[in-house]
Amino acid sequence: MKGPVLVVGVGINNRPLLRYFGERGVPVVAADRMEPDQYSGPREPGVQWCFGSDYLEQARRLGPYEEVYLTPGMIKRQPAVLALLGEGTRLTCETDLFLKNCPAPVIGITGSAGKTTTTSLVGAILRQDQSRPVYVGGNIGESLLPELARINPDSWVVMELSSFQLELTETSPHGAAVLNLAPNHLDIHPSYEAYAEAKSHIFRHQSPSDWLVVPEPPPLLLGSALAEHQGRRLAFRVGEAVPRGAYAADGAIRWAGGGAERVVMPVAEWHLPGRMNLENACAATALSLAAGARLEAVREALSTFTGVPHRLEVVGEYGGVRYINDSIATAPDRTMAALEALAGPLIVILGGYDKHLDYAELGRALTDRVRMAVVLGQTGPAIARAIGPGPAVLEARSLEEAVALARRHARPGDTVLLSPAAASYDMFRNFEERGERFRTLVHDLDA
């Protein structure tokens, strides 16, 4: 590479790029809209920094660049980015760099919901198998780029991959799964079709020896991409058998592959609630067994898995009322899955940052399912309008007020569910901070 590379956005995902290129003698320009005193990350030697509202204009003056590494979630159609493209620059990302240089086979998981649970499960299964070192990362945690020196061809790498991370990739993992597809992130992607197209990059570049796991039936918007897929294809399903893959039916999780069907374990030994979580277990089973894991390792990992924080997490029970943290629900389909998973009278706390999503279907589900809704944030009014007659709808100005209202109106036997159906950015840095605040507020009820 002759000239410098431009790294746009120096948050958690992109910071490892600065050291990666620095160690290889590649000049780096780093650009971010934050002010210099707001940056608390490492100051790698040899990096030229561009901070402030005109950061891209500053960076362009230091070019030209062969490659520009954009931070995940950056809108690609904004004028400054289009100007870079017009100068012959290749737009790429940290994820594609890692996939191209990783010496080990990679299993990637994407979808509109269930990514973290399924990624965690596959990592747990492969570790239980104990045949090879396992690295888990991507959207689930920190970048795996700093681990490249330790990863060898005998390792396994398991990655959660978002649409933002996949949008600019030209390399696909060896094993891939698309768990589901529903409208999301339409504040960043120009359309649902563009969002689906980004997701499809997880398998678009697979070879005939690679494998893909999709639900049966597969999402309609993946149809044309699936028709061109070159690798092996497996399926997962709940309620009915699949010809090749994993499914749950007749009280058991089953594996259909290699000319024989085998029982993995009874469904009763799977501890997470709801249909979606059972689908996640089937998808993880198919991915892991296709990778060569032992059936016994799958059974042991699934039967001992207790879930991931902020995903239908039982926070506590106070005064006969159960409190559940589902802060991960940043879109309507995720909240609808939570409603389906839980029994008994529900008070649901909803609302947050506006991603330009449609709440009509969620409104119908809330009308049929909940006793009360407490709404807040930018999307609170839209969610309130979508709810039909029947449930009481209360408005709150903060999560603290929402929890207080829910507690005041809850009766013994009720469940208070935080499942916002919206992102958190209008009030919190991320869904984790929102969930942790909810957890603290609930624990304070017993103080």
Residues marked active site are found at 115, 139, 185
Rounded CA separation 56/341 (Å) = 46
Identify whether the C-beta of residue 138 lies closer than 8 Å to the C-beta of residue 132.
no
DSSP 199: H
**How many CA within 13 A on the CB side of residue 247?**
19
Residue among 322, 323, 253 at smallest CA distance from 288: 253
Alpha carbon 281 to its chain's center: 16
Strand, helix or coil at 263?
strand
Rounded CA separation 135/144 (Å) = 8
Q: In sequence order, which residues have a C-beta less than 8 Å from that of residue 259 and are 6 or more positions away? A: none
Q: Which residues of 40-52 are buried (b: 16+ CB within 10 A; e: fewer)?
A: eeeebeebebbbe
Identify whether the C-beta of residue 232 lies closer than 8 Å to the C-beta of residue 257.
no
Rounded CA separation 15/286 (Å) = 34
Residue among 23, 26, 89 at smallest CA distance from 59: 89
**Tell me, what amino acid is at 193?**
E
Identify whether the C-beta of residue 93 lies closer than 8 Å to the C-beta of residue 168.
yes
Cα 417-421-425 angle, rounded to 5 deg = 105
The Cβ of residue 70 has, within 10 Å, a number of other Cβ atoms equal to 23
The Cβ of residue 381 has, within 10 Å, a number of other Cβ atoms equal to 13
Tell me the CA distances in angstroms from 12 to 71, 106, 328, 436, one per residue in order. Answer: 9, 21, 19, 20
Tokens of 254: 């089953």
Q: In sequence order, which residues have a C-beta less than 8 Å from that of residue 113 and are 6 or more positions away? A: 179, 180, 182, 276, 331, 333, 334, 337
**Tell me, what amino acid is at 326?**
D
- Helix 295-304 to helix 275-290 angle (10° resolution) is 150
Alpha carbon 388 to its chain's center: 30
**How many CA within 13 A on the CB side of residue 33?**
5
